[in-house]
């Protein structure tokens, strides 16, 4: 009797084991106008792709449906129609490749046998007419309600009102926006949505962004819970505070990883096998070269970053011990090579990369530091580091109740803290900022250097020194995009130098005001504004 019960229990457990997908058949079928792909993974990933539109219509992981019902997971907001084909390929592993072709775009979805991931790549020959290239996974919010790494900053579910248009909202008294989920390209690891009883994680990972635009410090939307659906993104090109022309070519490989054991990291991702798949635009490591060298002149308290770019690609590397650096594997070509101290540009040269070779190229700072500084507010790091609200604006709107007062503020050299100086001057909110300082003697001629990171609506700093109005600065390069209200600060990084004649600075008390100058106008935080990097007064 005990033996019979034991056998029956074994059968029940084995059946349950199969039902949970422990043994899966790698392959694909055609059903109802869709290709149904089984990744053959131990944790069971099965998804279906429309044979007419390339939309992912269903994603089942461990038997749980994750795909939002009313919209697909797709490139842009959906290709609309495409020529969709599928094939199974054998190489170092077994793969299934789905190829979706339009007039200017080819999108690939690949599974590798045993992996709970959809590997993706998007090749473009021109900016598509359906909008800026981005991959959007539209998922079920009740299954995947939470976001990583920044929590609820982009969760707009339950919004009571909008602050700006239709992309910044008030939720429980706090401002939320999909823009607040962004991370600098150079810091990108994985960004995820997660939840459910099994604590399922769905993560986007981008091993490199060589065909995107904007450089190492560019940032864009990563995720948001919009109520109807939870959205997970990989933005490839966008006009969100963009400083470069868009690049064409292959975006990727990138991947959508499914797990329940925690948050995967991009460091261990290997996509070298993509060379076995016949993906247009893919350049294997054998067809690439690297650049190594030293980058000198970066202050010890700042990070050295070396950036390479041309019309076809972009790469970057942080400096390590002894100021050394080695680039990622790069496509052959001639590149502009830039050195930053954190994000502040201090040198530029060029370098040529050859396939299969390591090129040695050193770079040194050419930035001229002041030898006789009267005062310096902030640091030349390309960021509004330490200024008021600089610790908050990346994840909330300037109007948020959690923000400290924007002023107008007065900063007294020698007694004020750095947070008494605003990170930005808004023409209709806190202009001007006032700087007070005391001199033991009149210094003669001097220079006021105002380094900025980003301008909106043509705003630039107009300085007045003890009532003397400095020259009117020229308009900065225009970026046709909102900035600080979307949590952005990275622009062209204009530097303005005001030559102060002898006799304008005096022994004793002195006052400098810096206001926003622009031919445009606007209300409150959408008025013309610029973001500070550093303000320094020095004599020659």
How does DSSP assign 511-532, residue by residue? EEEEEEE-S---SGGGSSEEEE
pLDDT of 21 reads 39
pLDDT of residue 166: 84
Question: Span 394-422, mean pLDDT?
Answer: 98
Q: Are residues 47 and 144 in the same domain?
A: yes
Residue 294 falls within a domain, yes or no? yes
Rounded mean pLDDT of 99-126?
96
**Are residues 173 and 70 part of one domain?**
yes
Asked if 43 and 1 count as a contact pair (C-beta separation under 8 A), the reply is no
Same domain? For 456 and 527 the reply is yes
Rounded distance between C-alpha atoms, residue 391 and residue 403, angstroms: 9
133 plus 96 within the same structural domain: yes
**DSSP helix/strand/coil, 270:** coil
Both 383 and 360 in one domain: the answer is no
Instruction: Give me the pLDDT at residue 23, please.
Output: 43
pLDDT band at 127 (very low <50, low <70, confident <90, very high): confident
271 and 333, same domain (yes or no)? no
Q: What is the model's pLDDT at position 406?
A: 98
* HSE value, Cβ hemisphere, 13 Å, CA-based, for 371: 1
Of the ranges 12-16, 320-324, 435-439, 461-465, which one carries the lowest mean pLDDT score? Answer: 12-16
Q: pLDDT value at position 22?
A: 41
CATH number at residue 29: 2.70.98.10
* pLDDT tens for each residue of 21-43: 344 699 999 999 999 999 998 88
Any domain includes 6: no
Give residue 12's pLDDT. 34
How much is the pLDDT for 16? 38
Count Cα atoms within 13 angstroms, Cβ side, for 416. Answer: 21
3-state secondary structure 376-409: EEECCCCCCCCCECCCCHHHCCCCCCCCCCCCCC
Q: Is the pLDDT of residue 465 over 50?
A: yes
Q: Domain boundary residue among 276, 298, 319? A: 276
261 versus 382: the higher-pLDDT residue is 382
The secondary structure of 6-63 as a DSSP string is HHHHHHHHHHHHHHTTSS---EEEEETTEEEEE---TT-EEEEEETTT--EEEEEETT
Mean pLDDT of 288-302: 97
- Binning pLDDT at 50, 70 and 90, where does residue 6 land? very low
Mean pLDDT for 87-106 is 95
Locate tokens 């022994």: which residue? 507
Provide the pLDDT for residue 24: 62
Judged against a pLDDT cut of 90, whether residue 194 lies above it is answered with yes
* Whether residues 208 and 178 fall in one domain: yes
| Judgement on whether residues 331 and 396 belong to the same structural domain of the protein | no
Last residue of a domain, one of 276, 300, 330: 276
Mean pLDDT of 171-189: 96
Task: Tell me what the mean pLDDT of segment 3-16 comes to.
Answer: 36
**pLDDT at position 204 over 70:** yes
Alpha carbons 219 and 186: distance in angstroms, whole number: 9
User: Alpha-carbon distance 311 to 383, whole Å?
Assistant: 26
Rounded CA separation 286/290 (Å): 11
Query: What is the percent of the chain where pLDDT is above 70?
Result: 96
Structural contact between residues 273 and 212, judged by C-beta atoms closer than 8 angstroms: no
* Domain final position from 276, 298, 332: 276
Q: What is the mean pLDDT of the chain?
A: 93
* 271 shares its domain with 296: no
Query: For residue 7, is it within any domain?
Result: no
Each residue of 43-85: pLDDT tens digit?
899 999 999 999 999 999 999 999 999 899 999 989 999 999 9
Joined together, the tokens standing for residue 413 give: 């050299």
In a domain, 353, yes or no: yes
| Rounded CA separation 199/197 (Å) | 5
Residue 143 and residue 53 share a domain = yes
Do 314 and 210 reside in the same domain of the chain?
no
Residue-level pLDDT at 196 = 79
Q: What is the mean pLDDT of residues 363-369?
A: 96
What pLDDT digit, counting tens, does each position of 477-530 carry?
999 899 999 999 999 999 999 999 999 999 999 999 999 999 999 999 999 999
Residues 447 and 358 in one domain: no
Helix (H, G, I), strand (E, B) or coil at 495: strand
pLDDT for the residue 229? 94
Residue 527's domain comprises 372-539
Domains identified in the chain, total number: 3
pLDDT tens sequence across 225-278: 988 999 999 999 999 999 999 999 999 999 999 998 789 999 889 999 999 999
Q: For residue 15, is pLDDT > 90?
A: no
Confidence of residue 448 (pLDDT cuts 50, 70, 90): very high
């Amino acid at each position: 009797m005990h033996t019979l019960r034991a056998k029956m229990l074994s059968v029940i457990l084995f059946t349950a084991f199969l039902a949970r997908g422990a043994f899966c058949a790698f392959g694909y079928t055609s059903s109802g106008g869709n290709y149904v792909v089984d990744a053959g993974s131990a944790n069971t990933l099965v998804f279906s792709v429309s044979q007419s539109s390339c939309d992912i219509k269903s994603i089942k992981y461990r038997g749980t449906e994750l795909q939002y019902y009313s919209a697909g997971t797709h490139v842009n907001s959906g290709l609309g129609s495409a020529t969709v084909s599928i094939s199974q390929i054998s190489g170092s592993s077994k793969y299934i490749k789905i190829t979706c072709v339009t007039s200017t775009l080819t999108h690939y979805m690949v599974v590798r046998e045993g992996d709970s991931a959809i590997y993706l790549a998007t090749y473009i020959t021109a900016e598509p007419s359906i909008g800026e290239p981005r991959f959007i996974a539209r998922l079920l919010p009740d299954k995947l309600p939470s976001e990583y790494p920044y929590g609820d900053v982009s969760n707009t579910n339950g919004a009571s009102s909008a602050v700006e248009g239709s992309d910044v909202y008030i939720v429980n008294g706090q401002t939320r926006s999909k823009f607040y989920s962004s991370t600098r390209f150079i810091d990108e690891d994985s960004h995820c949505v997660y939840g459910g009883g099994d604590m399922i994680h769905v993560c986007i990972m981008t091993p490199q962004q060589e065909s995107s635009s904007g450089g190492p410090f560019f940032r864009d939307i990563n995720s948001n819970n919009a109520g109807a659906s939870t959205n997970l993104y990989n933005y490839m090109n966008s006009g969100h505070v963009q400083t470069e022309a868009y690049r064409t070519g292959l975006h990727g490989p990138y991947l959508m990883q499914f797990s329940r054991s925690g948050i995967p990291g991009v460091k261990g991702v290997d996509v070298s096998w993509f060379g076995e798949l016949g993906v247009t635009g893919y350049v294997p490591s054998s067809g690439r070269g690297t650049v190594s060298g030293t980058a000198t002149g970066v202050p010890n308290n700042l990070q050295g970053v070396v950036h390479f770019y041309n019309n076809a690609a972009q790469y970057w590397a942080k400096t390590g011990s002894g100021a050394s650096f080695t680039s990622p594997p790069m496509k052959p070509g001639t590149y502009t090579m830039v050195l930053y101290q954190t994000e502040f540009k201090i040198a530029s040269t060029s370098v040529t990369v050859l396939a299969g070779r390591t090129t040695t190229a050193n770079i040194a700072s050419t930035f001229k530091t002041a030898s006789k500084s009267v005062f310096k507010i902030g640091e030349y790091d390309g960021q509004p580091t330490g200024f008021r609200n600089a610790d908050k604006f990346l994840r909330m709107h300037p109007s948020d109740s959690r923000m400290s007062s924007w002023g107008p503020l007065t900063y007294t050299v020698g007694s004020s803290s750095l947070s008494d100086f605003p990170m930005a001057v808004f023409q209709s909110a806190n202009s001007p900022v006032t700087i007070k300082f005391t001199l033991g003697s009149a210094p003669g001629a001097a220079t006021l250097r105002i380094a900025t990171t980003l301008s909106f609506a043509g705003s630039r700093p107009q300085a007045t020194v003890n009532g003397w109005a400095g020259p009117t600065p020229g308009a900065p390069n225009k970026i046709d995009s909102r900035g600080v209200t979307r949590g952005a600060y990275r622009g062209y990084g204009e530097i303005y130098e005001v030559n102060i004649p002898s006799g304008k600075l005096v022994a004793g008390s002195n006052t400098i005001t810096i206001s926003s100058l622009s031919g445009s106008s606007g209300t409150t935080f959408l008025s013309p504004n610029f973001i500070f990097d550093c303000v320094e007064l020095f004599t020659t």
